[in-house]
Chains A and B, each alone.
Chain A
């Protein structure tokens, strides 16, 4: 029998000028959730339980773009989405357009386990969440001050941003003195800060 293995990610696309302390914060969070998963696997946790456990932890920490700390829409609100898939039988569940569900990945798990469907979105997903009795919070819970500032800057730049965020300080000097010609959304990559 092969041994267990686990991998986690917190987003792709990183500003090469990411401050050292932010790098260290990211590594500490990744190490913490990795160890959480390792402990669960050593305790004979199943793969599907471990991925839910680890992603819930990442959703609850505002550092990366999911759950609390999610990127903001054009209206300054949060709309989250998540999915989960069990290789055994290729069972799956997914949710989109969530605004009040504290842990979207767990609602995706309930769609997989407790509904005849594989994907619920927006009001239908929220209604299902209430029926399932999952923890729900105001949309404000997910919004961080950093993200409010970043949305303001993104609107000024007339840009959407994927797994990057615009830094709240130093914006005016970004893009200067950087050798990389890489651009995203028409802007130098150096203006974007990672999650």
Chain B
């Protein structure tokens, strides 16, 4: 699975996710990536793209949940990501990337690693795999 989330200089958020799904999957299997709210979500406060165990991501409506706890619990982006990874995945293994309309960037995962990279306008840039 691959994904990208962006907030532009005008504060507009967007997310995209694309995948081939599971190796040896049954024909017709649909994972989290195309399901808005599960694997991909964007609104006026954040954008999120997920990867990992699709069935667990679907059960947890993971991407939308980040926006929801920001909206209803008043959490900041990193706190929202941490909350969702810890509280909404049950035993599933997954990760996500996120940005907020205020120009923050965040990621989280509960497995060994996640291929990811992020950058911000103030010069921060990071590419990593492991925790």
Contact = CB atoms under 8 A, between A and B. Distances in A.
A and B are partners in one complex rather than unrelated chains: yes
A13 interface: yes
B88 interface: no
Interface string A3-25: 11111111111111010000100
Contacts of B17: 55, 82-83
A84 B41 CA distance: 8
B93 A184 contact: yes
Interface in B1-45: 1-31, 33-36, 39-45
A47 interface: yes
A44 B51 CA distance: 28
A116 B8 CA distance: 26
B6 A14 contact: no
Q: Summarize B's interface: helix, strand, loop or mixed.
A: strand
B121 A159 contact: no
A9 B1 contact: yes
A9 B112 CA distance: 14
Contacts of B122: 3
Contacts, number: 350
Contacts of B4: 6-9, 33, 37, 50-51, 54-55, 58
A12 B111 contact: yes
A12 B109 contact: yes
A65 B34 contact: no
A182 B115 CA distance: 19
Given A70-B21, A83-B40, A162-B54, A65 B120 contact: no
Interface string A34-47: 10011001001111
Given A2-B7, A54-B4, A55-B3, 11 more contacts: A1-B10, A6-B105, A7-B117, A10-B115, A11-B52, A51-B6, A65-B2, A71-B23, A79-B28, A85-B42, A162-B54
